[in-house]
Amino acid sequence: MTAESVAAELLEIRGKIDHIDQDLVQLLAQRFALTHHVGRLKACNALDPVDAGREAQKLEALRALCADNGLNPELVAEIFKKIMAEAVRNHNQIREQHQQ
């Protein structure tokens, strides 16, 4: 391979990565829109913002999905713990606004 062909291949691959990153951000936005709806339902029905059982089931399912796809389950679990923590933070804000 020439330096030129390597540079071209890197550029092509990086473009694909950039596209996937855009898709991931859009999917996160969709996920947070749905968790926002969950937060409103919980606030209106005086439900706890945290559902530890659901979180544990979700993390277990994600770890299994990682095994099926050759991904590091601990990395994915940490990412989703942060995503779920943000959802709970949002649920708490919705609850506070609902109580006002």
* Domain span at 81: 3-99
Task: Supply angle C-alpha 35, 19, 12, rounded to 5.
Answer: 160
pTM over 0.95: no
55-72 CB burial, b ≥16 within 10 A, e <16? beebbeebbeebeeeeee
Provide the CATH number for the domain around residue 41.
1.20.59.10
In this structure, which amino acid lies at residue 57? Q
Instruction: Count up the domains in the chain and report the number.
Output: 1
- Taking only the tens of pLDDT, the chain with its 100 residues reads 899 999 999 999 999 999 999 999 999 999 999 999 999 999 999 999 999 999 999 999 999 999 999 999 999 999 999 999 999 999 999 999 998 8
Structure token pair of residue 27: 């999917």
